[in-house]
Structure 1
Amino acid sequence: MADGRSRLVVLAGPTAVGKGTVAAEVRERHPDVWISVSATTRPPRPGEEHGVHYWFVSDAEFDRMIEADDLLEWAVVHKAARYGTPRGPVDQALAAGRPAMLEIDLQGARQVRRTMPDALFVFLKPPSWEELVRRLVGRGTETEAERTRRLETAKDELAAEREFDVTIVNHEVPVAAAELVALMTVPTRAS
């Protein structure tokens, strides 16, 4: 990490662009970066662990979190499950001065922009539409109906690129992760 003030970076982009994979690369190669773990009402995919990949919660628990204002942002994603960012850990990481990142969907990024406008908003973009479709089909975690719904959502998500401060094209995960980490500090100005 370069010397400087840490900053909250919000990473968003269309489904299957590799947000989770890029975040995992950052987590592995840059343990000093704090990465938020989202809460979700969807069931775990194979290999996902509670508290590591997501906080898998019931609809009732998610409702309780909304009511208690425990979520920085939340949304219904792909017309199915709800996802949200627990507020407390974000506040703690920023108060500690750690470089911090949220990996969230477009709806969530829009909510965070309203509440934390000083964050840096990064759009992760696929090299092409065809590559996005290949990645979604290739992971094999969704039914045909889910893939169709996610691809419909992806068209709208791709159109939102201009709402972001920076775009990173995810050609190769290590390169995209390095570009992302480079954005996480603000150089300090000499007095």
Structure 2
Amino acid sequence: MAHDDHHAKPWETVRRGLLLLVSSPAGAGKTSLSRRLAADYAGMTLSISATTRAPRPGEQEGREYFFKSRPEFEAMIERDELFEWAEVNGQLYGTPKAPVISAMEAGRDVLFDIDWQGARQIATKAPDDSVRVFILPPSWQDLARRLHARAQDSVEVIEQRLDLGKREIMHWREYDYIIVNKDFDRAYADLIHIYRAERMKPGRNPWLPPFVEDLLSEKV
């Protein structure tokens, strides 16, 4: 069941959304944790990337991705319409700015399941709005076990993912928070605590100054 502030006073809902950037090596749990957080909090929006790759069966425009031709994507780069972008296996992927900014200005938070490079680019362009969380496995053996348990990739691909994972982990110091995902429920609780605490920061709640002024002007 989604949590929502049905009983919140109107002035409490006037807030600026934040960008929650969640990263981890493959298999450490960022996608599962992110999806649960987005499902449980009605004020959270999952970021949707633009891509030049063709839609796969069942995928819909604006749900999984914004599907673009390469010239369209390159034009978006030229117009500085992307928070971040990268080329992966010959295809371009990136985060359009417009829907993210619109969501934040409407008081909605935007959740990113993203690698360290994308998180760095977004945090550089929106430092006051970004919150970076890195998910670590409890051990390297545990991470390898999780990847093998998926039975989705060949041994060679799993080894590549593990090598990439080591390069990802090397950037952990760039993040605001670190969660060790030894137990999913505990890791999820930690992610909720981070998210709710960040929502309460004064800079993200523009209703606070006039509210405090009213408090101070009240007669005892």
Q: TM-score range by the shorter chain?
A: 0.7 to 0.9
Q: Does 1:110 align with 2:120?
A: yes
Alpha-carbon distance in 2 for matches of 1:140, 1:81:
25
Alpha-carbon distance in 1 for matches of 2:138, 2:54:
29
Structure 1: runs of 5+ lacking an equivalent: none
Question: Out of 102, 120, 130, which is 2:131 matched to?
Answer: 120
Q: How many aligned positions are there? A: 190
Q: Residues 13 and 82 from structure 1, CA distance in 2 versus in 1: closer, same or farther, beyond 3 angstroms? A: farther
Measure how far apart 1:87 and its partner are.
Answer: 1.2
Q: Is the 8 A contact 2:38 2:111 kept in 1?
A: no
Alpha-carbon distance in 1 for matches of 2:127, 2:190:
21
Q: Residues 105 and 182 from structure 1, CA distance in 2 versus in 1: closer, same or farther, beyond 3 angstroms? A: same
Give the 3-state SS of the residue equivalent to 1:112 in structure 2: helix
Aligned AA (2:176)? D
Q: Does 1:86 align with 2:96?
A: yes
The corresponding residue for 1:101 is 111
Structure 2: runs of 5+ lacking an equivalent: 6-11, 203-207, 213-220
Q: Please provide the CA RMSD for this pair.
A: 3.0
Alpha-carbon distance in 2 for matches of 1:98, 1:18:
24
Question: Out of 134, 137, 149, which is 2:145 matched to?
Answer: 134
Q: Is the 8 A contact 1:22 1:174 kept in 2?
A: no
Q: Is the 8 A contact 1:136 1:147 kept in 2?
A: yes
Alpha-carbon distance in 2 for matches of 1:18, 1:138:
13
Aligned AA (2:188)? A
Measure how far apart 1:107 and its partner are.
Answer: 0.6
Give the 3-state SS of the residue equivalent to 1:17 in structure 2: coil
C-alpha distance after superposition, 1:95-149 (max 9, x if no partner): 1111222221111011112111121111111122122222223223334443332
Alpha-carbon distance in 2 for matches of 1:161, 1:117:
17
User: 1 or 2, which has the higher helix percentage?
Assistant: 2
Measure how far apart 1:84 and its partner are.
Answer: 1.8
Alpha-carbon distance in 2 for matches of 1:43, 1:28:
27
Give the 3-state SS of the residue equivalent to 2:34 in structure 1: helix
Alpha-carbon distance in 2 for matches of 1:166, 1:94:
21
Measure how far apart 1:153 and its partner are.
Answer: 1.3
Q: Does 1:158 align with 2:169?
A: yes
Question: Out of 71, 76, 79, which is 2:82 matched to?
Answer: 71
Aligned AA (1:186)? M
Q: Residues 135 and 164 from structure 1, CA distance in 2 versus in 1: closer, same or farther, beyond 3 angstroms? A: same
Larger Rg: 2
Measure how far apart 1:166 and its partner are.
Answer: 0.6
Aligned AA (1:138)? A
Aligned AA (1:98)? R
Question: Out of 193, 206, 211, which is 1:182 matched to?
Answer: 193
Q: Residues 57 and 149 from structure 1, CA distance in 2 versus in 1: closer, same or farther, beyond 3 angstroms? A: farther
Structure possessing the higher relative contact order (Cα contacts under 8 Å, 6 or more residues apart): 1
